[in-house]
Amino acid sequence: MNLEQGLVIKTTGSWYYVKPEEGEIIPCKIRGTFRMKGIRSTNPVAVGDRIQYRKISDQDGGIIEKIDDRKNYIIRKSSNLSHEYQLIACNIDQAVLMVSLVKPRTFLEFIDRFLVSAEAFRIPVVILFNKIDMYKEKEMNELEGLLETYRNIGYQCMPISLRNGIGIDLVENLIESKTTVIAGNSGVGKSTLLNILDPSLELRTNEVSDHHNSGKHTTTYAEMHFISSETKVIDTPGIKGYGMVDIEKEELFHFFPEIFEASKDCKFNNCLHLNEPKCSVRDAVERETISLSRYNSYINLLSDFNSKYR
C-alpha cells in the first residue's frame, strides 16, 4: 500500500483536510475500522496530527490509514454522553490563552482548568488579558493582582488591546516560527487577533451580547492557519470547559506548580491538601503565598473526580 505523509490542518465532522508535503490540500476520511488506542475521545484525529493517508482520486480525496505518535494534545469536555473527551489540537509548541475581565468575563477556574490541562503535557502557556482599553479602575486593580499571581507561578502574561493595537508586536514575536494553539471563551478576540496577524484570513467575528455578556461562536471547528511557512496558529472554537485526561486524583496538585512546591513540606506524602493535619499548602494559603482563587480552583477540580469527567 502506497501511503503519503500529511498534516491535518482542519476538521469538519467526518472530513479531515490534510496538507501533504507537496501539492494541494486534500480532504480525507478515516478508514472504517480505524481506532485510537488509549484515548477515549469522540474524534480520533485532530488538527496538528501528522498522518499517513492513501489517496483515492482528486474527486474522492483520501483515506487516513495511520496517525503518527503525538507529543501532546489539548482536550475539551465532550457533550457526547458515550465519550469523555474531544481532541482540540495536537503537537503544539505553545498555547496562548486569551481571557478578558469584561464582555465577556473569563472565570478564574476556566483559566486554571486550562493551565492544568496544559501542564499535564508540559505545554507552555502565555495568558493574554485582552480588552484592557475597556477596563475601569476596578478591573485594572483586579488585573494587577492576577498578573502578580500568575507571573509569580511562572506564567508569561501580556495585557493587550486588539482594538487599540496594544501588544500586537509582542504577540507577533511570541508566535514566530512555532505552532501555537489559541484558546479561550467565545468573544474574547481569538478570530480578531488572527485577522490582525494575517488580514487575508478575513475570519468572521461578532460583537459580544450586551444582554448576556457573552460571545457568539464564530469559529465552529479548529483550523490551522499559516501566518508564514514556519509560523502556524491553530484557531479553536469558544469553549466553556477543558477536561483532564490520564490524571489521577492524587496527582492533580502536581499540575498546580505553586501547590506542588509547597506540598514538599506536608507531613503526609499522600496529602490532598483538604483537611489533613500539618498541611503546608493550606498554611501557604493562609499566609497568602498561594492565591486563594488558585486553591479554590484546585478544590473544585478535585470534585471532577466524583463525576464522569476524570
CATH number at residue 59: 2.40.50.140
The reply to whether 242 falls in a domain is no
Residues of the domain holding 258: 249-306
**pLDDT for 59:** 82
19 is written with which cell numbers? Answer: 496538507
The reply to whether 206 falls in a domain is yes
The domain boundary, picked from 235, 266, 298, lies at 235
User: Is 216 in the same domain as 297?
Assistant: no
Q: CA–CA separation, 54 vs 30, rounded Å?
A: 10
CATH number at residue 203: 3.40.50.300
User: Is 166 in the same domain as 292?
Assistant: no
Phi, psi of 100 (to 5 degrees): -150, 150
* CB-based contacts of 115, cutoff 8 Å, min separation 6: 97, 125, 155, 255
Please classify residue 123 by burial: count the beta carbons closer than 10 Å to its beta carbon, then call 0-12 exposed, 13-18 middle and 19+ buried. buried
User: Is 285 in the same domain as 171?
Assistant: no
**pLDDT for 10:** 95
**pLDDT for 239:** 61
The reply to whether 169 falls in a domain is yes
**pLDDT for 280:** 97
By the 8 A CB rule, do 112 and 294 touch?
yes
User: Is 216 in the same domain as 255?
Assistant: no
**Rounded mean pLDDT for each run of 10 residues along the chain, 310 residues in total:** 91 91 92 60 88 90 93 75 72 97 94 92 95 97 98 97 96 97 92 93 65 45 91 82 72 96 95 95 97 96 66
The reply to whether 21 falls in a domain is yes
**pLDDT for 127:** 98
Element at 109 (helix H, strand E): helix 108-119
User: Is 48 in the same domain as 170?
Assistant: no
**pLDDT for 207:** 56
The reply to whether 17 falls in a domain is yes
CATH number at residue 290: 1.10.40.50
**Of 220, 177, 169, residue with least CA distance to 197:** 169
The domain boundary, picked from 210, 235, 260, lies at 235
Residue appearing with cell numbers 512546591: 261
**pLDDT for 254:** 96
Q: Over 18-50, what HEC string results?
A: EEECCCCCEEEEECCCCCCCCCCECCCCCECCE
User: Is 60 in the same domain as 101?
Assistant: no
User: Is 132 in the same domain as 64?
Assistant: no
**pLDDT for 86:** 80
**pLDDT for 2:** 83
User: Is 27 in the same domain as 112?
Assistant: no
Domains of the chain: total: 3
HSE-up (13 A, CA, CB side) for residue 219: 31
The per-residue b/e assignment along 44-73, b for 16 or more CB within 10 angstroms, e otherwise, is bbbbbbbbebebeeeeebbbbbebeebebb
